Amino acid sequence: MSHDPNCLFCKIAAGEIPSTKVHEDEEFLAFRDIRPAAETHVLVIPRKHLPTLSNCTENDAPLLGRMLVLVARLADQLGVAYTGGETGFRTVINTGPGGGQEVYHLHAHILAGAASVATHGLIARPRVFTAL
């Protein structure tokens, strides 16, 4: 798997920088965000260094699929999975500077609880689209 020695998340995955791990296997690492934007805020990263979602190719599709399945499984383990009513969580992948990405290693945010709806300036607002 590719590894960028200058990447913060690659260093976390390699154990060079400590983290509060939620899950770890050969392909992925999940850990609590050090600056949580919600009551539950976990980052899920592939060990393979992919700078952004835009860098992914068709060859990465199976990895991305497994990553999303892991997100759902972790949400369940964290007690935030959708079970009906008002329960649930957000999954966010920020891509590039315009998308709010701060660390250039593909990662998914699992957000739930207090402040999860307004996380990272993403506030649900009704919009009117005149053309697509």
Q: Report residue 127 as tokens.
A: 């919009």
* Choice among 41, 49, 105, 107 that is catalytic: 107
DSSP for 56-96, written as a single string: --GGGHHHHHHHHHHHHHHHHHTT-S--STT---EEE---S
For the question of residue 107 being annotated catalytic, the response is: yes
Let me know the angle formed at the C-alpha of 108 by 102 and 113, rounded to the nearest 5 degrees: 100
For the annotated catalytic residues, the residue numbers are 107
